[in-house]
A and B are shown apart, each in its own frame.
Chain A
């Protein structure tokens, strides 16, 4: 077929061309029963759709600019109605925000523990868990000072159509998928690829779970980390405030610690530790800070002697310490539970006054 002949393309010829083009789409899911793992279907009535009643947008308090930062910030938890273990229909949670913010999701794995088929629930829900900065901020470029149109993070099973099929042999969805667009997509893409993401087309990048990556493009830093039970997204601008969006899916108390932000002293990205002074503390390094629905809670502090200070224990106990402190080098950690019934939304911004609620 050539352009010359196209002008005289008959209906049949056009039909054949269209069909050939359509054939370029290669669905990732085999629908031939002989090629496909057994299909299990998720009864949607077991997926509780909640609307988080309380929008939360934290305002960066550093110095001057009060900038609304983002994202997950819009979550809150209906604590009056936690999942109950003996009510399977209430175990699953997909959060769909009102006001058209349908792309923002939270998955609570803890709530799935008693579910008969947690994997399928997780698969279906993670498939919908999508954070779309563009949906939250009409113009990310203005709000965040970014030259980025949108940032979308999607975690989903690589082989399961949403809610329709799953491979029961897979414990959790396997990949985190990132879509980042900007005026110059190649910059974001190059940074992502440097960070170990694989380009999978259409501006999407993917890498295996249990991975952590950061990238930096045009003053925009973002980190996405997916661990068993967690999808964590954080971003910042060079000049602006830090935004941290944790979509927590606590898989257990000992894993809760992994769901918190790890902050650096002079740069907060998801690596390193925040210097105590950043949190207004003077007792050593803060390994991690978590924010429950009611506000910040200090989780782990390494004192100068490597022990958790006694005067912090009430605070820690109040937050549900689940085990003795453990020391690894100069890091001391304490496992905690996040929120009631394992349902927590962890989010927040690191600002100097965050530590003010902690008597250290």
Chain B
């Protein structure tokens, strides 16, 4: 097995560092939006490729760029493949609490904006203004998305 360092150097070290440190987290963020690890990885990988190709523009905040690209990529994936209607989420891991499975499924039924806002707050720990930037809306709208989404999840969990 060899290492082709010449090629490695052609990628920005900062982006490589983000990849190494954040890849799993981004996949899990995408998973919360898509319910599929496979699709989540596709979206994250595409996001990294996008960041590389747009490096000069995104170098000030590569992690933020990739995060936004992941959210937008998930949106595109859902639109392109009709995942919401056609794909079942991944089966939960063995022994996963039923309540959590229900919660995951309920999350996946939410409109993507609400789902994204919830995932970015509760998984990515982003403040509302950063989430608003990613989603292209106002912070107040983010709070509204979250409130409505959580309320809907509670209704579904407690019919």
Please, what's the 1-or-0 string for A1-37, where 1 marks a CB less than 8 Å from any CB in chain B? 1111011010100110111111111111101010001
Interface residue B112 (Cβ < 8 Å from any Cβ of A): no
B20 close to A15 (CB less than 8 A): no
CB proximity to A under 8 Å, residues B14-45: 16, 19-21, 23-24, 27-32, 36-42, 44-45
Q: Known contacts A25-B37, A161-B41; is A2 also within 8 Å of B23 by CB?
A: no
Chain A residue with Cβ nearest B24? A27
B97's nearest neighbour on chain A, judged by CB, is A1
Contact B48 A164 (CB under 8 A): yes
Q: Which residue of B lies closest to A16 (CB)?
A: B122
Interface of chain A residues 85 through 104 with chain B (CB within 8 A): 103
Closest B residue, CB atoms, query A39: B8
Q: Which of A2, A44, A127, A164 has the most CB of B within 10 A?
A: A164
Q: When the two chains form their complex, are residues B10 and A19 in contact, meaning their CB atoms are under 8 A apart?
A: no
The secondary-structure label for the interface of chain A is loop
Is B142 located at the chain interface by the 8 A CB criterion?
Answer: no
The chain B residue with its CB closest to the CB of A177 is B38
Would A202 and B1 count as touching, CB distance under 8 A?
A: no
Report the bound CA distance from A161 to B19 in whole Å: 11
Known contacts A24-B92, A29-B23, A44-B53; is A2 also within 8 Å of B99 by CB? yes
CB distance from B80 to the nearest CB of A (A): 7
With A44-B52, A117-B4, A150-B86 as known contacts, state yes or no: A22 contacts B36, CB within 8 Å. no
A177 vs chain B, min Cβ distance (A): 8
A181 within 8 A of B: yes
B148 at the interface (CB under 8 A from A): no
**Is the Cβ of B49 less than 8 Å from the Cβ of A164?**
yes
A200 near B: Cβ within 8 Å?
yes
**What separation, in Å, do the CA atoms of A128 and B123 have in the docked complex?**
28
| Interface residues of A, count at CB 8 A | 57
Cβ B100 vs Cβ A17 within 8 A: yes
Q: Are A18 and B45 in contact (CB under 8 A)?
A: no
The CA-CA distance from A117 to B100 in the complex, in Å, is: 45
B136 interface contact, C-beta 8 A? no
**CB–CB B45/A164 < 8 A:** yes
Compute how far the CA of A15 lies from the CA of B44 in the bound complex, rounded to whole angstroms. Answer: 22
B60 within 8 A of A: no
Given known A40-B4, A181-B86, contact A21–B107 (CB-CB < 8 A) = yes
Specify which chain B residues have a CB less than 8 angstroms from the CB of A164 in the assembled complex.
19, 45, 48-49
B residues near A9, Cβ cutoff 8 Å: 154
B103 to A6, Cβ gap below 8 A?
yes
Interchain CA distance A116-B2 in the complex, whole Å: 13
- Bits for A123-145, please: 1 = Cβ < 8 Å to B, else 0: 00001000010110000000000
Given contacts A150-B81, A162-B45, A168-B1, contact A40 B103 (CB under 8 A): no
Asked if A48 is at the interface of the complex by the 8 Å CB criterion, the answer is: no
**Across-interface contacts of A23 in B (CB, < 8 A):** 28
Query: Given that A7-B154, A7-B157, A18-B122 are contacting pairs, would A25 and B3 also be in contact in the complex, using a CB cutoff of 8 Å?
Result: no
The residues of B that contact A204 with a CB separation of less than 8 Å are 38
Contact, CB under 8 Å: B100 / A25: no
Q: Is B134 an interface residue (CB 8 A)?
A: no
Residue A26 contacts which of B11, B21, B37, B44 (CB distance < 8 angstroms)? B37
Residue interface bits B89-125, CB-to-A below 8 A is 1, else 0: 1111100110110111001000000000011001100
B7 touches A41 (CB 8 A): yes
Q: Contacts A27-B24, A103-B80; is A43 near B10 (CB within 8 Å)?
A: yes
User: Across the two chains, which residue of chain B brings its CB closest to A9?
Assistant: B154
- Chain B residue nearest in CB terms to A167: B1
Q: Does B58 contact A (CB under 8 A)?
A: no
B11 to chain A, nearest CB (A): 4
7 pairs, A vs B, C-beta closer than 8 Å: A4-B158, A22-B29, A23-B28, A24-B37, A26-B37, A167-B1, A203-B86
Leading 8 A-B pairs by shortest Cβ distance:
A25-B31, A38-B3, A22-B28, A18-B122, A41-B11, A162-B45, A202-B36, A43-B10
Which residue numbers of A lie inside 8 Å of B, CB to CB?
1-4, 6-7, 9, 11, 14-15, 17-29, 31, 33, 37-44, 103, 116-117, 120, 127, 132, 134-135, 149-150, 152, 161-164, 167-169, 181, 200-204
12 additional contacts, CB 8 Å, given A28-B37, A29-B23, A41-B16? A3-B102, A6-B103, A18-B119, A24-B90, A27-B24, A38-B2, A38-B4, A41-B10, A44-B49, A103-B80, A200-B38, A204-B38
